[in-house]
Amino acid sequence: MYIENKLLKKYISYWLYIMFWLIATMIVVGGLTRLTDSGLSITKWELFYGFLPPLNSDDWENYFDLYKKIPEFTLQNYSMTLSEFKVIFWWEWIHRFLGRLIGLSFLLPLIYFTYKVSFTRLKSLYLIFFLICFQGFIGWYMVSSGLVDRVDVSHFRLAIHLLMAFIILSLILWNYLKLKNVIFSKEKVKLYLPIILLILIFCQITIGAFVSGMDAGTIYNTWPLMGSSYFPDDNKLINLFSINSFSDPSLVQFIHRNLAYFILFFYVFLLLNVYKNKLSKFYYCTKIVGVILLIQIILGIFTLIYGAQILLASMHQISSIFLVSSNIYLIYLNSNTSLQPSN
């Protein structure tokens, strides 16, 4: 993405910076929507009409009547009052409002910048816009899974939705860094090491979504053991190698714990590689990744011990945003992109 006009280039970088934080906010609000069990409070997908919240008592009653028809109400929240419904409704409405805001905030400036530059030079940004639109579809696909036969959404669809959000966030950050033309040393970490670390983090985010989707963080609230043993008491080791292990709350928590340990060990391997090869220009960035990783693990442990309390669980998710972002920055600085003009 090569932009000759310096002023226009600055405006595009500012725009991407704002979009980065909008997406980050969306991830946090989405997490809070899940933690408060608010995601099924709006049972229809209204792309335009739903932009406005209920404006009178009749509107509120209509939304509440629709909610009363789904299993989450009939089987779980059957004693919920209208005032209680309003609390979960607002979380989901804010989540959807942010989604619409992000779509418009990306599309309108993109059209303007395309007019000023050209489509070919902004192709990567059009890919991001397509993913944002696709993310909206995935969001509804996820919600629809909890409207008929179950009291919550599919944890697999939840994981796809969350992972897509992080992919969009990463692509926006990557394009922002390209526009900033950060120049770095010719010294290089073996490129596959930070890339593998990012893949592992994305895998951990996926498993974390499974944990959240199945409320697996509310069981085995002890650390480092799960109950009285390292492996969950209510399971057999052989079950870990079954495809159904990703639908078993205790096994998913076990995988989430141990993948965190493996990521930490792999990070130490990466750090030792940086120091062994005396890549001094990478010392600071690599250590920042490590600090955030440790914070993330500590927050994960406390989230588990305290039964996935909303504040701790939300902080755990926020730290994952910084972990992914710092690793994207490390990969970018270690790539050839940072040594060449944007194209």
- Residue-wise pLDDT for 221-278, tens only, equals 999 999 889 999 889 889 999 889 999 999 999 999 999 999 999 999 999 998 888 8
Average pLDDT of the segment spanning 210-230: 93
199 and 169 housed in the same domain: no
Query: Which of residues 180, 213, 246 is at a domain's end?
Result: 180
Looking at the fold, whether 68 and 196 belong to one and the same domain comes out as no
273 with 326, same domain: the answer is yes
Polymer length in residues for the chain: 343
What's the pTM? Answer: 0.93
Residue 206 and residue 158 in one domain: no
Q: Which domain holds residue 158?
A: 1-180
Domain-ending residue, one of 180, 202, 237 = 180
Q: Are residues 128 and 227 in the same domain?
A: no
pLDDT for 340 equals: 46
Q: Is the pLDDT of residue 164 over 60?
A: yes
Residues 176 and 188 in one domain: no
Number of domains observed in the structure of the chain: 2
Cα dihedral 37→38→41→45 (10° resolution):
-120
Strand partners, 226: 229
